[in-house]
Structure 1
Amino acid sequence: MTESNNRPALTHINGCGEAHMVDVSEKNDTVREASAEAVVVMHPDTLSMIIDGRHHKGDVFATARITGIQAAKCTWQLIPLCHPLMLSKVTVDIRADRPNSRVRITSLCRLSGKTGVEMEALTAVSVAALTMYDMCKAVQKDMSIERVRLLSKSGGKSGDYQVAEHD
């Protein structure tokens, strides 16, 4: 079913306009993968403190990485209409970009199943970024979390997607 503007209809809305969880029981299991990113922008001295290991709360990157992985596994508990998924792989990569005084967080989620993992990848980077903010807010309150977006997805009926540009 499509809307009048040739865009797909919203799958989480039933014929009466009510939110519902999509029934995926008839779908075939396929390998599905998604990657996402978030960018945390901060002052150069805040970034140096994290990189140099001088943060009084400990290893900010390690904590954010573990939190992002855990968040991906709990996405169905946070987003009401997401299915609980048996993820076979979750990675969270954190890279400091000193020249631009920012940190780029990327995630990769994979499974063999009936539904995609885009929300898990997006949740991983979002919560990892929020963890970095939480750990550093005593030092800098005006950090920003930017460019939370899906980078790619593969598998499933809707096919593959790749963001047009990466940096």
Structure 2
Amino acid sequence: MISINNLTFEIGSRALYDEANWHIKPGDKVGLIGANGTGKSTLLRLIVGQYTPTSGTISMAKDLKIGYLNQDLLSYHSDKSILHVAMEAFERQNQLHTEIEELLRKLETDYSDDILNKLSDKQVEFEALDGYNIEFKAHEILAGLGFSEEEQKRPLATFSGGWRMRVMLARILLQTPDILLL
């Protein structure tokens, strides 16, 4: 699933990793343990491509979907409800929903075949992406992470850091990654 070969990563003149090798196979559950400042987050950032190794390779399947719960997500701010924030995971479905609404408004004054065909295409794609169930899925994941129905309506900004991190985890889980980096 992920193969790290002869990885070297230097910060200034200090080698954080020197020809490191690591292979994570499908189904593996791996814990990366170490003291603060030893490079755990750096390794995750190398895997997701935020940093470039000095030498060596990190390879994985091109279609591998990685979910990365970055510590920096605590700085994410929104006055939108946590349900809305979690549903941001469904980028294409949200985009299609907006396009469908726009086409429906156009239909009020322009009942052309072109508009009807575009609307039909968008609705077929939205259905194929299970767009009518995204809100249910978001409710379900948030509830599983301990959020009540009422809390799901509250703005993200009203929650503590730990609870905001759970919302970010919900958003990542809704993207159904192949591998989850926490």
Band the TM-score falls in, shorter-chain normalisation? under 0.3
Greater per-residue strand proportion: 1
Give me the TM-score of the superposition, normalised by structure 2.
0.24
Give me the TM-score of the superposition, normalised by structure 1.
0.25
Which gives a bigger RCO, structure 1 or 2 (Cα 8 Å, sep 6+)? Answer: 1
